[in-house]
Amino acid sequence: MFIPNINFSKMPPSYLFSEVARRVSAYRSHHPSVDIIRMDIGDVSLPLPEPVVHAMTKAVADMGTYAGFHGYGPEQGYGFLREKIAEADYAARGITHITPEDIFISDGAKSDCGNLGDLFGHNVRIAVADPVYPVYVDANVIDGRAGTLEHGRWSNITYLPGSFDNGFLPPLPAEDAASGSPAPDVIYLCSPGNPTGAAMTVSQLKEWVDYALRHRSLIIFDSAYEAYVTEEGVARSIYEVEGAERCAIEVRSFSKTAGFTGVRCGYTVVPATLTYPGEDGEEMSLQKMWLRRQCTKFNGVGYIVQRGAEALYTPEGQKAVRRHIDAYMANAKALRASLLKHGCQVTGGVNSPYVWFKPQSDLDSWQLFDLLLDRLHLTSTPGAGFGEAGNGCIRFTGFNTSDNTQEAIRRISDLWPI
């Protein structure tokens, strides 16, 4: 008899962004004429850059010829793209120890953040910031590592609570045995952070790398938003920190930099130097394991898409990426300024396209979500959906158009006093 994975029955019935979409759609069906502005999921609004369209169009034409046809490609991605990434995203920024062989092209950061759990032993203890991108938690629940849900928290997960007091930078887990909680085996870090936009400096990140090396923990570093860093000293890659190549996997995406949310392409860096002892004490290479996993469960990203991603590394592609980022950052900065003016506590909007805020109000996140939707016709993502410590907060994205963002800001001023 088939036995379903019972971990699904422990989870909330829908994924955060699906729940938001469901509520927005229900509202829309009762109010078909209202002009709703989407400020919830981080989906981009600018069309694909011209160099990408050009490269993909050429790749489509190639695929229609005997000479240019490409069937199954390498599961880890084509060399032409892996080489460009190693050169432009690492070597050119002084990180010379990341090689094309360390880079695995993916269909986006979300899939890899979930799939990387295939590398973990069954009983590893994971640690996450709170609030946190829900994929890290949900994927471990599905894999049976999270324990039971008690008052909004999973019993086998270590939560590192953020607040406006600590700038939503997660504190290091307790290290002394007396604390009763062992050091986590896997630590998920996201910087610039989703949802709060908080970003770690290289020296703050060094504390995590040193911690992971001391405890032989593995860091999953999600840097999908690294291109939004504007401040000097803020880390764009964990490999800016010496030793990270021995304790960290880095996950990146073209979604938020180049309009690839619907195209699907990103990459994950698993350095050859990343090894951990197996049951027999022999060191196991995570790079070899990940390659084995990808060859078994993944057939690679399409040739046409990878040619499109490659075009981002031309001078015209780089200029287009800059234009996209500048446009979204201008939106995020304007949102941030407006919320600060209204007396909210705010993070993000400086090194991040997300703006995270708490109004002076006792309303919980879902009440605020309803209020914004019903009174202002603005969608948002409720902070509670990212974790207990997010309750009372709201996340807006800067990814809408400039006109819609300005209109949202105008409507926001109608809300006060809440």
* Site map 63..102 versus ligand MLT, x via CB under 6 A: ----------------------------------------
| Spatial distance between the Cα atoms of 76 and 224, rounded to a whole number of angstroms | 19
Q: Which is nearer to ligand MLT, 173 or 353 (CB)?
A: 353
Cis peptide before 417 (omega within 30 of 0): yes
Residues between 222 and 281 that touch ligand MLT (CB under 6 A): none
Q: Which is nearer to ligand MLT, 287 or 365 (CB)?
A: 365
Q: Which is nearer to ligand MLT, 39 or 320 (CB)?
A: 39
- Bridge partners of 234, per DSSP, are 201
Give the residue ranges of DSSP H helices in 39-108.
Answer: 50-63, 79-85
| Interface with ligand MLT (CB under 6 A), residue from 76, 115, 158, 194 | 194
Cβ at position 256, least distance to ligand MLT in Å:
7
Q: Which is nearer to ligand MLT, 348 or 359 (CB)?
A: 348
Find, among 144, 165, 68, the residue nearest to 389 by Cα.
165
Q: Which residue is nearest to ligand MLT (CB)?
A: 42
Residue 100 · residue 85 · CB < 8 Å: yes
Please enumerate in sequence order all residues whose Cβ is within 8 A of that of 328, keeping only pairs 6 or more positions apart, or say none: 44, 228, 256, 353, 398, 399
| Interface with ligand MLT (CB under 6 A), residue from 38, 82, 84, 110 | 110
Q: Which is nearer to ligand MLT, 42 or 184 (CB)?
A: 42
| Interface with ligand MLT (CB under 6 A), residue from 37, 42, 86, 383 | 42
Rule CB under 6 A: say whether 324 interacts with ligand MLT.
Answer: no
> Checking phi first, is residue 231 left (phi over 0); if not, alpha (psi -120 to 50) or beta?
beta
| Spatial distance between the Cα atoms of 167 and 347, rounded to a whole number of angstroms | 7
Cβ at position 41, least distance to ligand MLT in Å:
4
Cβ at position 117, least distance to ligand MLT in Å:
16
Find, among 412, 411, 395, 404, the residue nearest to 343 by Cα.
412
Q: SS3 for 381?
A: strand
Q: Which is nearer to ligand MLT, 212 or 368 (CB)?
A: 368
Cβ at position 399, least distance to ligand MLT in Å:
8
Q: Which is nearer to ligand MLT, 105 or 247 (CB)?
A: 105
Rule CB under 6 A: say whether 307 interacts with ligand MLT.
Answer: no
Cβ at position 42, least distance to ligand MLT in Å:
3
Contacts 24+ apart (CB under 8 A), 140-148: 141/7, 141/10, 141/11, 142/5, 142/7, 142/8, 142/11, 143/7, 143/117, 144/5, 144/7, 145/117, 145/120, 146/7, 146/10, 148/10
Cβ at position 222, least distance to ligand MLT in Å:
10
Please enumerate in sequence order all residues whose Cβ is within 8 A of that of 117, keeping only pairs 6 or more positions apart, or say none: 139, 140, 143, 145
Query: What is the identity of the amino acid at 68?
Result: G
Cβ at position 254, least distance to ligand MLT in Å:
12
Find, among 78, 382, 308, 202, the residue nearest to 221 by Cα.
202
| Interface with ligand MLT (CB under 6 A), residue from 41, 272, 291, 304 | 41
Which chain residues interact with ligand MLT by CB under 6 A? Answer: 41-42, 110, 194
